[in-house]
Structure 1
């Protein structure tokens, strides 16, 4: 093992031994190299005469650039986006995002967190989590309906096992906390370490826990950790903030889990992708919340270096331009107002759907999974195959939906205007009736 990795491991072992136990084999081997980047950083500070360290082309004091590129970016200087960013991410953006996290999640008051590491979107953050914390044959507790990319990341890349619980009761009226608890406690009894993915607002059903459900879920996880099972809780908060109903919990489960047990590692995977409607900028964050016996700051620094090492060893660093745009947007005086406008637009669509679906005529064709947030809702079709219906709607009605398993269709109301809601569900019902004949 590289001596730098061993040094980081020693820091984690001494300060938080259970956190060290939970690292994957790769996680234990990861480190941030004291190579070109470190030497270049030293030269940036001390080389006041000549600096020939890093592979960036320069002319005079400015980065070398092509006008056919820079002419499209008029309000940002080339030196603010063309050079490489740090593998950790731009320091200013990391600090801003952390401050926002405390504002959005008041439960975090008094809890010390790591500084967020910038990832190339939240998917990249999930992949890093898998590399750092998941070994082959580790068990991951998941709902029975999941974002499909979890299969590619956890099962294909890292050979994990899924233990699934029924996300909703049979009548589709509420989140099935009882079955969640059953599976978590069963797996805790069978394994020294379990990983739990918590994805709210949920993809594909568009559901976020109520305040009461959030308390129960977090209490179950903390209790399992306190009783001796190591728990890695990954909070996939891709659609965070898009909460449309009063009783919905408005804070991440991460806020209720971070720092609550020495055997619990809470990982927040979030970013501006959906929160700020910048899907293509591919910027996300990975933040840790742990409890350490000693040297919490040192343990966090070690975890940040391992995470940055994982990035350095794959994509090197994330888009500097995207990070610079986000920094400037967060400083804009209209930032909060503009976000509220887009939130109100999405909420109006969700409310329009709820109003339309009160019509009892739809109950003959499908049931609706609970939804109160995010981009999506799901329906459970009756008497027809979901994939056959998807193809039929596409071929005969020019309407595209996503089938999930034999019975479910996912509907992205994020891209459907409120005026088209009635038409959409009438088409779905017609398609179901067509296939029944």
Structure 2
């Protein structure tokens, strides 16, 4: 094993040996190389005469560029747009994202977390997490309604075992009973379990209430107290889009930090939906937990392993994307812009709820609970979801997503409020078409 990896491992063991035990085999071997990157960093600071360390092209002391490229980039210098970013991410952006995280999550007050490490979007963040923490045959606990890419990342790429539980109970809330059953059963059979919590949830659009969040944390604390190491991954891709009063308005990550020494909390979030920049691909990985004493060395070691994983896969996320995001976050207009877009999405969600639950559709579908995010789902009563999807597309030019035999997902985020009733009337007509053809 590389001496740098050994050094990081010893640092983690000295502060939190249980966290070292949660690392994957790859995670234990990971380190951030000194080599060219560290030598270039030293040269950037001290080589005032001539610096020939970094693999970019320069001209007259400045970053070389094409006019045809920079013509599309306004008010950003080539050195802030075209050069490599650190594998950890831009320092100013990491600091800003962490500062805002504490402001948006009051439960973090008085707690310590790592500096966020920048990823190329949240999907890359999930894959990086899997590399660092998931071994083949590890158990990952997820609801049966889930984003399909989790299967690709955990099951296909990492050969992990996905254990499902039923997401909703009969009262229309989070199914704490099936969640607890899954967690306790897997904890009884494994020394380490991974629980992935995705709120607002894709595909259902559901976020837990304050009391449900507290109950989830209580269950996980109880399991950790019994001796099982628990990694809790918070996929907060749709963070902030909470539309109802009883909905938890912060990430459950804040409650998990400080919950138990055997719980490692991992926050995966990003600018994708929070800042309406889907294609910029800027995400973050942040670590939190319950540790004695100074956590600086521990978090530094985890950040270095994570950045080492990024260095060994994509090298770094886009410098241009990070600069654009940082400039936007620092803009005086940012808060008002976010409030304006939130209001639009909330109005659409409220309209969808009012229309989709109209009694005139009751014979065709039930509506799954939703209160946040981009999506909502309906459960069809009489026709096959894929058959309906194709029929609506071919006959009416309406596109939606079929999930399994009975479920249909509607992304109300990308439709106008004025089209909501037309959409559900068309879906209903499609159901009737298929019923009449049977």
Residue 116 of structure 2 is matched in structure 1 by: 116
| Offset from partner CA, 1:280-333 (integer Å, 9 cap, x none) | 000000000022345411110000000000000000000000110111101111
The normalised TM-score by structure 1 is 0.98
Residue 416 of structure 2 is matched in structure 1 by: 417
CA positional deviation for 1:225: 1.2
Equivalent-residue separation in structure 2 for 1:63 and 1:72 (angstroms): 16
Equivalent-residue separation in structure 1 for 2:280 and 2:357 (angstroms): 38
CA positional deviation for 1:434: 1.1
Residue 220 of structure 2 is matched in structure 1 by: 221
Aligned residue for 1:204, secondary structure, equals: coil
Tell me, yes or no, if the aligned pair for 2:40 and 2:54 is still in contact at 8 Å: yes
CA positional deviation for 1:60: 2.1
Q: Indicate the RMSD between aligned Cα atoms, in angstroms.
A: 0.9
Which runs of no fewer than 5 residues in structure 1 stay unpaired? none
Equivalent-residue separation in structure 2 for 1:46 and 1:226 (angstroms): 51
Equivalent-residue separation in structure 2 for 1:407 and 1:53 (angstroms): 58
Residue 340 of structure 1 is matched in structure 2 by: 339
| Offset from partner CA, 1:33-82 (integer Å, 9 cap, x none) | 01100000011111111111010111122101111101111211111111
Does 1:32 find its partner at 2:35?
A: no
CA positional deviation for 1:359: 1.9
Aligned residue for 2:177, secondary structure, equals: helix
Tell me, yes or no, if the aligned pair for 2:193 and 2:230 is still in contact at 8 Å: yes
Equivalent-residue separation in structure 2 for 1:336 and 1:79 (angstroms): 28
Aligned residue for 2:348, secondary structure, equals: helix
Tell me, yes or no, if the aligned pair for 2:13 and 2:20 is still in contact at 8 Å: yes
Residue 73 of structure 1 is matched in structure 2 by: 73
The normalised TM-score by structure 2 is 0.98
Equivalent-residue separation in structure 2 for 1:358 and 1:180 (angstroms): 27
Aligned residue for 1:364, secondary structure, equals: coil
| Offset from partner CA, 1:92-139 (integer Å, 9 cap, x none) | 000000000000000000110000000000000000111111000000
CA positional deviation for 1:8: 0.4
Residue 18 of structure 1 is matched in structure 2 by: 18
Residue 101 of structure 1 is matched in structure 2 by: 101
Aligned residue for 1:396, secondary structure, equals: helix
Residue 196 of structure 2 is matched in structure 1 by: 197
Q: How does 1:389-400 map to 2 (within 5 A)?
A: 389-400=388-399
Aligned residue for 1:234, secondary structure, equals: strand
Residue 163 of structure 2 is matched in structure 1 by: 163
Residue 48 of structure 1 is matched in structure 2 by: 48
Equivalent-residue separation in structure 1 for 2:371 and 2:22 (angstroms): 34
CA positional deviation for 1:260: 2.2
Residue 388 of structure 1 is matched in structure 2 by: 387
Tell me, yes or no, if the aligned pair for 2:12 and 2:19 is still in contact at 8 Å: yes
Does 1:152 find its partner at 2:152?
A: yes
Equivalent-residue separation in structure 1 for 2:10 and 2:294 (angstroms): 12
Q: 1:417 to 1:222 in 2, by over 3 A?
A: same
Residue 326 of structure 1 is matched in structure 2 by: 325
Tell me, yes or no, if the aligned pair for 1:260 and 1:291 is still in contact at 8 Å: yes
Does 1:354 find its partner at 2:366?
A: no
Does 1:126 find its partner at 2:126?
A: yes
Tell me, yes or no, if the aligned pair for 2:166 and 2:175 is still in contact at 8 Å: yes
Which runs of no fewer than 5 residues in structure 2 stay unpaired? none
Tell me, yes or no, if the aligned pair for 2:357 and 2:367 is still in contact at 8 Å: no
Aligned residue for 2:194, secondary structure, equals: strand
Equivalent-residue separation in structure 2 for 1:421 and 1:349 (angstroms): 8
Equivalent-residue separation in structure 2 for 1:211 and 1:292 (angstroms): 25
Equivalent-residue separation in structure 2 for 1:226 and 1:266 (angstroms): 15
Residue 244 of structure 2 is matched in structure 1 by: 245
